[in-house]
Amino acid sequence: MVMKSTLLFLSRQEKLKNFVLGFEFAQRVSRRFVSGETQEQAIQAVKELNQKGFLTTLDRLGENVTNKEEAVKAADDYLLLLDKISQNGVGSNVSCKLTQMGLDLDFDFCFNNVKRIVERAKGHDNFVRIDMEDSPRTDKTLQICFALHREYQNVGAVIQSYLYRSEEDVRRLLEQKIRIRLCKGAYKEPKTVAFRKKKEVDENFVKLMKQMLKSGVYHGIATHDDKMIQATIDFAKKENITKESYEFQFLYGIRRELQEELVKQGYNVRIYVPYGDQWYPYFMRRMAERPANLFFVAKNFFRR
Ligand SMILES: Cc1cc2nc3c(=O)[nH]c(=O)nc-3n(C[C@H](O)[C@H](O)[C@H](O)COP(=O)(O)OP(=O)(O)OC[C@H]3O[C@@H](n4cnc5c(N)ncnc54)[C@H](O)[C@@H]3O)c2cc1C
């Protein structure tokens, strides 16, 4: 618990980020969880995953931008990415974070930036998932998601089962038939807004999963947790919900054998494929989720 909090704290330290990004060793280690620095490398990773039967969602790493130029550049990159997905005929949609689109700078500016992405995706008959960040941003993120869905439909939300508010958010999203990715949540949240105990987070996950699967909308169940996956499979079987009506989602490089096993069993599996040079906060959150991954980092440190 202390280790997790420390790693999540470090994930937000700008000075440390700049220091770590400079190390060649750190770049090499990040490749376990990040597909590459360029769009070409990311598309190549998607091709390989598609060949193995996976769907993917591509994420341009970056968050909490501090100026509008950076946010416009990030959105422009997503437009190019959507064009490349279409040109290469690969099976991928995109995921983006609103603080990369300028959410902390100006709400309307951010809205227009994401709107450009959703519009371009619509032109390619593709889909945009808006990732969920920490709780001070939940309301604004959902607000943008609802507004874009009203206009374009090809946009989906993320719900975190550690938040107390999530049941009500799921209800509102289902009312509009908005596609949801359900995850446990990756940020350090105070107990005023979020469950602290794993048991409670898991129980809420199962409860929300059931509401989502029964809705008839195509949702994503995003977890590496055997118990959550088994609960989903069992519930779907009991309710005669077919394998085609939902998908499992995993992060790139995590529990690869389980990913392959589910594909073998005929489930839809989508891999979240991050790319880009701004991997530090993403990488540190993965370390916080499973401090055992630090051994992997240590092993690589000595393999120079
Ligand atoms: C596709 C996808 C998209 C996501 N999008 C968001 C988002 O938009 N917003 C958000 O807040 N969070 C997001 N997350 C992260 C999520 O909230 C969790 O932090 C993360 O998935 C860990 O929770 P878990 O469900 O895997 O279960 P946990 O209870 O954390 O872990 C269960 C088991 O899974 C394995 N495992 C978990 N994490 C790792 C890891 N890093 N390395 C190796 N093994 C691991 C371990 O065996 C562990 O015992 C996303 C996760 C996925 C899979």
Return the structure tokens found at 118: 């959703």
* Digit-coded pLDDT (tens) for 84-94: 999 999 999 99
Q: Is the CB of 131 under 6 A from ligand 1?
A: yes
Q: Where are the domains of the chain?
A: 34-278
Q: Is the CB of 223 under 6 A from ligand 1?
A: yes
Distance in angstroms (rounded) separating the CA atoms of residues 108 and 104: 11
Among residues 295, 290, 279, 289, which one has the least CA distance to residue 28? 279
Per the prediction, the chain carries an average pLDDT of 91
Return the structure tokens found at 215: 């809705």
Residue 1 has pLDDT above 60, yes or no: yes
Residue 40 has pLDDT above 90, yes or no: yes
Give 23's pLDDT tier (boundaries 50, 70, 90): low
Ligand 1 pocket, mutate which of 94, 183, 262, 282 (most atoms under 8 A from CB): 183
> Which range scores top for mean pLDDT: 14-23, 84-93, 281-290?
84-93
What residue's CA is closest to ligand 1, atom 17?
Answer: 185
What local confidence, expressed as pLDDT, does residue 202 receive?
98
Residues labelled catalytic: 131, 181
Q: Is the CB of 249 under 6 A from ligand 1?
A: yes
| CATH 3.40.47.10 holds for 34-278 | no
Q: Is the CB of 297 under 6 A from ligand 1?
A: no
> Which range scores top for mean pLDDT: 193-202, 279-288, 292-301?
193-202
Distance in angstroms (rounded) separating the CA atoms of residues 28 and 17: 15
What local confidence, expressed as pLDDT, does residue 304 receive?
39
Residues 27/278, Cβ–Cβ less than 8 Å = no
What local confidence, expressed as pLDDT, does residue 121 receive?
98
Distance (angstroms) between ligand 1 centre and the Cα of 22 equals 27
